């Protein structure tokens, strides 16, 4: 359930990396991403710190490379299925970067971004697929322009620049879970 742009009963970890959506645009696209910080490692709360612009660059050499980036997604689904929301859905999170979907550029303007804690090559967990399906159904209810056909990977809207959610993301498994709430 979504109230005032926020999912009910999830962790909130506010990000400053968002702004207003352009007037008159409907939210009609869901973009699935992956992230792990440091790359290939899970846990530690580093993604939350990264989206809050509070990541300590002294912890890992990679963090100094990304410390000045200002990015966020609307939500993160961790390996254990925990869901964190950073930006209300009615606001424009900075998740897609240079992007284009069906001839429309700047996908952040009309999309919701969900990060899965993972990599292109590590299998996602059952809990992540279940939570992603639950969150997606809530989004589809609140924003009916988001249909099953309007759910894409970051790689679909930024080909050649992005590869996530990667070869390890099982689209059929996700679509089955979306339809039935079971895996």
Task: Show which residues are catalytic.
Answer: 115
CA nearest 79: which of 44, 127, 135, 13? Answer: 127
83 φψ region: left (φ > 0), alpha (ψ -120 to 50), beta (else): beta
- The H helix count followed by the E strand count for the chain is 5, 12
Half-sphere exposure for 63 (CA within 13 Å, toward CB): 16
115 close to 164: Cβ distance less than 8 angstroms: no
């Amino acid at each position: 359930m979504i109230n005032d742009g926020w999912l009910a009963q999830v962790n909130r970890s506010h990000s400053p990396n968002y702004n207003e959506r352009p007037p008159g645009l409907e939210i009609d696209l869901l973009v699935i991403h992956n992230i792990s910080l440091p790359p290939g490692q899970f846990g530690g709360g580093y993604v939350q710190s990264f989206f809050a612009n509070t990541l300590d660059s002294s912890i890992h050499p990679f963090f100094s490379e990304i410390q000045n980036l200002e990015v966020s997604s609307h939500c993160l689904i961790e390996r254990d299925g925990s869901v964190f929301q950073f930006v209300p859905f009615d606001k424009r999170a900075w998740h897609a970067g240079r992007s284009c979907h069906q001839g429309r550029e700047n996908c952040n303007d009309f999309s919701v971004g969900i990060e899965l804690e993972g990599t292109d090559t590590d299998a996602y967990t059952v809990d992540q697929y279940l939570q992603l399906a639950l969150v997606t159904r809530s989004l589809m209810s609140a924003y009916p322009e988001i249909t099953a056909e309007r759910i894409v990977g970051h790689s679909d809207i930024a080909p050649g620049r992005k590869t996530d959610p990667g070869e390890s993301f099982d689209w059929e498994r996700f679509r089955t879970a979306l339809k039935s709430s079971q895996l």
